[in-house]
Amino acid sequence: MKLSMVGTGYVGLVTGTCFAEMGNSVICVDIDENKIENLKNGIIPIYEPGLEAMVKENHAKGTLTFTTDIKEALEATDVIFIAVGTPQGEDGSADLQYVLKVAEEIGKHMTHEMIVVDKSTVPVGTADKVKETIQKELDKRGVNIPFHVISNPEFLKEGSAIEDFMKPDRVVIGAESEKAMEVMKDLYAPFTHNHERFIAMDVRSAEMTKYTANAILATKISFMNEIANICERVGADVNKVRIGIGSDSRIGYSFIYPGCGYGGSCFPKDVQALNKIAQDAGYEPRIIQAVEAVNKDQKKVLADKVVKRFGEDLTGKRFAIWGLSFKPETDDMREASSITIIDELTKRGAKIRAYDPKAMEEAKRHYLKDNPNVEYTKSKYDALDGADAMLLVTEWKEFRSPDFDEMKQRLGQPIIFDGRNQYNMEKLKKKGFEYHQIGVPEV
């Protein structure tokens, strides 16, 4: 099939590349000239395991091409995906300006019948807005070209995006047009043929499915963080409670890991967008509001523990931070808990030495660029030298089994605040560490 992908970010680049890998011909479009130029030269804008090799291979074969010209893409293809950002607007709602701008461009330049697939996460009713926008442009041109707008929300996770896309739990398509639904079935057949994973529905339900999936996952995390906060106040250990409940298959083990809050480009904005969708429809969504409120506080919990241990004034103190990205296996810093934690510590006078396997450039360039109290180190151990404590914020694999003897030698004081409950409490205590976790009573 001949496809275009508008927006070559995490979703667009991964989706376009995976479709090309399955033998389709894909044109990726982005307004960011620098990004497109880099992609043409084999420079990948994001870190995502397995992506670079796949992009280069398909680009070399000519099945994956890059352009800033949507006109060229519209002329050469029959299906166009919209995969641009839908960031949080000032009132919490999803900002649709990028999606509608693409719709406008489609209406201005389409030359033949097109299937327009919305892959961005958008509020219920957006497909209608996309349709109206395209139609308005066609009317201005005085042409009558048929088109179908359908919804195909994306469920991939950063850090395992290729794997998630290649082996999806499900593919959700919302479409009113049978013709468009059949085209989508054919397109996704190589990804869904082993099991019945293709789920067809109406457009509005498909749009709502995406927000519901993210909101329930975020709810599990905030719920478990709340349980963790209760556990440590009543002398229970959330690590044991987690295993105790996960063994019930109705509850399950996934997404019940407590920690220093959820981040990323999706949960924070999508939970708030769902709140706004509900309010606009005249409903006050109390659970969803609580999920967001608990998460906001949870991002401060690790810093609160440091303050409780060292006092409000942290002048003259230095802390090592292990992990900056919002989760392992990505360089994405959007809404990362590390930003809140570092801000809480440095505003009280502390200095930070941070290490992350992939996200330090991103942190330096954007997210922590205005904070002069943060230094970056070449290795995880270098961050420890003389520090008053180490804070583990992101559970990268290389932090899972560190050399605790070297850590003890390097740290000024053998103190660890673990925001992801990675180590064995008894063993660390025997080695002479003071070790703090989330949801475990302080002794």
Ligand X SMILES: O=c1ccn([C@@H]2O[C@H](COP(=O)(O)OP(=O)(O)O[C@H]3O[C@H](CO)[C@@H](O)[C@H](O)[C@H]3O)[C@@H](O)[C@H]2O)c(=O)[nH]1
What are the catalytic residues?
Answer: 266
- Name which of ligand NAD, ligand X, none residue 4 binds, using a CB cut-off of 5 to 8 Å depending on partner kind: none
The whole-angstrom separation of Cα 42 and Cα 53 is 9
Interface size with ligand NAD, residues (CB under 6 A): 26
- Name which of ligand X, ligand NAD, none residue 7 binds, using a CB cut-off of 5 to 8 Å depending on partner kind: ligand NAD
| Closest distance of CB 304 from ligand X, Å | 17
Tokens coding 56: 């280069």
The whole-angstrom separation of Cα 338 and Cα 355 is 11
| Closest distance of CB 133 from ligand NAD, Å | 12
Residue 6 binding ligand NAD, by CB under 6 A: yes
Closest residue to ligand NAD using C-beta atoms: 9
| Closest distance of CB 443 from ligand X, Å | 24
**Per CB under 6 A, which region of 55-63, 96-104, 255-263, 307-315 contacts ligand NAD?**
96-104
* Of 49, 53, 111, residue with least CA distance to 78: 111
Residue 159 binding ligand NAD, by CB under 6 A: no
89 or 412: whose CB is closer to ligand NAD? 89
Burial 256-271 (b: 16+ CB within 10 A, else e): bbbbbbbbbbbbbbbb
| Closest distance of CB 99 from ligand X, Å | 15
Subset of 256-275 contacting ligand NAD (CB under 6 A): 265-266
Among 4, 5, 7, 363, binds ligand NAD (CB under 6 A): 7
Cβ atoms of 152 and 185 within 8 Å: the answer is: no
- Name which of ligand X, ligand NAD, none residue 98 binds, using a CB cut-off of 5 to 8 Å depending on partner kind: ligand NAD
φ/ψ of 235, rounded to 5, equals 80, 25
**Per CB under 6 A, which region of 25-33, 177-185, 191-199, 406-414 contacts ligand NAD?**
25-33
Cβ atoms of 299 and 306 within 8 Å: the answer is: no
Cβ atoms of 231 and 241 within 8 Å: the answer is: yes
The whole-angstrom separation of Cα 304 and Cα 389 is 14
| Residues in touch with ligand X (CB under 6 A) | 121, 154-158, 214, 217, 221, 255-257, 259, 262-264, 266-267, 326-327
* Of 153, 264, 164, residue with least CA distance to 209: 153
Kind and range of the H or E run holding 149: strand 147-151
Residue 8 binding ligand NAD, by CB under 6 A: yes
Residue 26 binding ligand NAD, by CB under 6 A: no
Q: What does the DSSP assignment read for 207-250?
A: HHHHHHHHHHHHHHHHHHHHHHHHHHHHT--HHHHHHHHHTSTT
- Summarize as ranges the residues that interact with ligand NAD (CB under 6 A): 6-12, 29-32, 35, 83-86, 98, 101-102, 120-121, 154, 156, 158, 265-266
